[in-house]
Amino acid sequence: MQKHPLIVGALMTLLAACSDEPTTPGAPTTAATQTRNAPADMRYPIAKTVVQNDDYHGTTVSDPYRWMEDLDAPDLHAWIEAENALVEDYLHDAPGRAEIKSRLTALWNTERFGVPEKHGNNYFYARNDGLQNQSPIYVQEGIDGTPRLLLDPNTLSTDATIALAEVGISADGKNYAYSLSDGGSDWRTIRFRDVVTGTDRNDEIHWAKFTNIAWAHDASGIYYSGYDAPSGENQLKAINKFQKVYFHQLGTPQTTDRLVFERKDQPDWGFSATVSDDGHYLIITGSEGTDERNRVFIQDLTQAHSPVTALIEPLEASYGFIGNVEDRLYFRTDADAERSRVIAIDLAHPAKADWQTILPQSDANLVGVSLVNQQLIAQYLRDARSEVKVFALDGSFLRDLPLPGLGSAEGFAGASSDTETFFSFASFATPPVIQRYDLVSAQVSVFKAPKVAFDPADYATQQVFYPSKDGSRIPMFITSKRGLVNDGNQPTILYGYGGFNIPSTPRYSPAVIAWMELGGVYAVANLRGGGEYGTAWHQAGMKLHKQNVFDDFAAAAEYLIAEKITQPSRLAISGRSNGGLLVGATLLQRPELFAAALPAVGVLDMLRFREFTIGWAWESDYGSVNNADEFQALYAYSPLHNIKTGVDYPATLITTADHDDRVFPAHSFKFAAALQAAHPHGKPILIRVESRAGHGAGKPTDKVIEETADIYAFLSKTLQMTQ
């Protein structure tokens, strides 16, 4: 099921400061290139203001930086250029900046692999030699075959900002369809490569977005999802409505693609298509925004001109297609099971009363299931840690899959007839090791393992639980060098997300290793709103309950301080996307807890997020300003609208990108301008705007290293770290 939530990222977030009555400070109307006094001889670029007042249910809200929503405005370009220059000026003397970048480069410079997919007798996987900006794709014939290069995305642009996104491989392994993201955009161009010759066909598809690539069983073409081409507005800003499913037949122009499914009466419905392993059925998932609940439609592909019909139409629960055995379809669902279960639907008797429970809900959260070798591989989260179990198709337990410790296992793809599958296992200090699982012998072996420039045994991760403001028990991972002394003096990054039913599980990043080598501690709080514990946990951080997420995050900081892991003067908070909102809101509510904030690509204007690209889809999690009670809740914590003058906010480095069409960059522009105007003589408030980059996925390695080095240089200076 292809969705478009606010993506969880690696390491960045923002801070919070208290505000009882929201205000929107402005600055004198003047050219964006003028400056005024700021801290430590810093001079912030002045952002002009305009008169813009909006009425929300009788409440008048000022929006003086509305002009920043026009990405083509000359004043905006001048302001961005001046802000980027200010960041460079501030960081040029940061302690150890050059050494930090050098070490990050060395840590990134290790061979790494993606999880293989098998189609026919061919195995496909990504491999990066370390510093390649994009990971090339390799194919080998047979498990012991010699790998050969199939596709190198680094050759598609001079600056490596065209990235490989979605992939679809025909069942016979002879056709490789791939989508490309240009400059980080969510818009996709789909191309087709002949696996045998390694050359592209002439076919090309444009204006695909939030799509799967699903091959017809006979490899005659693909099913994909797309929108009409945007018109009359910047394509990175235009609102996306009326998604459709198409079929593209190989060797034909896109103009002749067959419309498979649409709903002209439902502009907010999105669709994602999957073809069953045996090629008999097209399964279309129908979603509304980022709501976890969905509908299911089906088409019998064995019958010419068969209609698409509704299999599950009420929007009551989440249904993820797992696979089928003839006319028996398996789904993972949270219907009547908040931690999810597996059901089977017989198409001869599809009524809900006839559904059969195969795997009932357990005490752990079921987050993924695959059907391989006529067995169900079930992936669970227990307190945000992976567990994997294998069951027969009748639900009888076969075995636990042994995992090497606290971490995250991902993968397990394959066809129902395959006898093997692949998965990766990683933790905070252990990079992903690619494992092969033989479902006949039940043996696990290493397929590919990276060699790293550090000893993972030098680091340790502990999981703790702490009470939030309302007494809820919240888990948190704390990773550091072994032998950490709790003297309250450790520089610490606290990361969080807390939204869209997305769990924060143990992840490896060279950036985390570099931070710990600098003497830092890395903490990840598993906040409500995420996907760690199922439906109730998610709903406890949604809409009118969103404040719980900020309270959970602040309580994590209080725990780290109380346990003498760190102190406010040594603590930074970090988050990306929805996590950028988390940092922004918490920064404004509890500024006394933190010394630095790192909000990245954040949703920071909670009154206008619905006006840009796919932002309307997030109302399922955030609520809508069109509803009076939800408006009040949004207004109460919206970072842009809760900035106060005279408050000692933490040092803040906001990061965004000019091609982010997931979270429109004006969120960050407006927040930075307002915070600088309200905070002209306090700790530094900076914004770093990346060019030719988007929300994060597909960002070139050199840009990732450069940005991370700047963030750590910022922290080394603001937290007064020594090398």
User: Residue 239 gets which letter from DSSP?
Assistant: P
Superfamily, domain 111-275: Prolyl oligopeptidase, N-terminal domain (2.130.10.120)
The reported pLDDT for the residue numbered 694 is: 65
Task: Give the span between the Cα atoms of 501 and 499, in whole angstroms.
Answer: 6
Give the tens place of pLDDT for each residue, 486-532: 999 999 999 999 999 999 999 999 999 999 999 999 999 999 999 99
Give the tens place of pLDDT for each residue, 431-468: 999 999 999 999 999 999 999 989 999 999 999 999 99
Could you give the residue range(s) of every CATH 3.40.50.1820 domain in the chain? 35-104+455-718
Contact 427, 506 (CB under 8 A): yes
The reported pLDDT for the residue numbered 555 is: 98
The reported pLDDT for the residue numbered 21 is: 30
Computed over every residue of the chain, the mean pLDDT equals: 92
Band of pLDDT at residue 39, cut at 50, 70 and 90: low
CA neighbor of 608 nearest in space, from 654, 556, 663:
663
Residue 302 CB-density burial (10 A; 0-12 exposed, 13-18 middle, 19+ buried): exposed
The reported pLDDT for the residue numbered 658 is: 82
Q: Does residue 35 have a pLDDT over 60?
A: no
The yes-or-no answer on residue 577 being catalytic is yes
What is the percent of the chain where pLDDT is above 90? 85
The reported pLDDT for the residue numbered 706 is: 94
Could you give the residue range(s) of every CATH 2.130.10.120 domain in the chain? 111-275
Band of pLDDT at residue 623, cut at 50, 70 and 90: very high
* Lowest mean pLDDT, pick from 282-286, 565-569, 717-721: 717-721
| Region 103-109 average pLDDT | 96
- Burial string for 421-456 (b: 16+ CB within 10 Å, else e) reads bbbbbbbbbbbbbbbbbebeeeebeebbebebebee
CA neighbor of 93 nearest in space, from 721, 723, 714, 719:
714
CA neighbor of 110 nearest in space, from 363, 432, 334:
432
Give the tens place of pLDDT for each residue, 40-55: 557 999 999 999 999 9
What is the percent of the chain where pLDDT is above 70? 93
Band of pLDDT at residue 679, cut at 50, 70 and 90: confident
Band of pLDDT at residue 693, cut at 50, 70 and 90: low
| Region 399-428 average pLDDT | 96
Q: Whole-prediction pTM value?
A: 0.91
- Tokens matching residue 582: 């988390």
Give the tens place of pLDDT for each residue, 54-87: 999 999 999 999 999 999 899 999 999 999 999 9
Band of pLDDT at residue 3, cut at 50, 70 and 90: very low
Task: Give the span between the Cα atoms of 526 and 536, in whole angstroms.
Answer: 14
The reported pLDDT for the residue numbered 484 is: 86
- Tokens matching residue 208: 């695909």
The reply to whether CATH 3.50.30.50 applies to domain 35-104+455-718 is no
Task: Give the span between the Cα atoms of 633 and 495, in whole angstroms.
Answer: 24
Residue 177 CB-density burial (10 A; 0-12 exposed, 13-18 middle, 19+ buried): buried
Considering only the C-alpha atoms of the chain, give the largest distance between any 2 of them, rounded to a whole number of Å.
Answer: 75
Give the tens place of pLDDT for each residue, 304-335: 999 999 999 999 999 999 999 999 999 999 99
Band of pLDDT at residue 17, cut at 50, 70 and 90: very low
Which among 577, 620, 668, 716 is annotated as catalytic?
577
The reported pLDDT for the residue numbered 505 is: 97
312: which strand partners?
A: 296
Query: Secondary structure of 576-633 in the HEC alphabet?
Result: ECHHHHHHHHHHHHCHHHCCEEEEECCCCCCCCHHHCCCHHHHHHHHCCCCCHHHHHH
User: Residue 441 gets which letter from DSSP?
Assistant: T
The yes-or-no answer on residue 695 being catalytic is yes
Band of pLDDT at residue 547, cut at 50, 70 and 90: very high
Contact 100, 518 (CB under 8 A): yes
- The CA-to-CA distance between both ends of the chain, in Å, stands at 46
CA 217 from chain centre, in angstroms, equals 31
The reported pLDDT for the residue numbered 239 is: 81
- Measured from the Cβ of residue 81, the count of other Cβ atoms closer than 10 Å reads 14
**One-character DSSP codes across 496-540:** ----TT--------HHHHHHHHTT-EEEEE--TTSSSS-HHHHHT
> What φ, ψ does residue 632 adopt, rounded to 5°?
-60, -40
The reported pLDDT for the residue numbered 188 is: 94
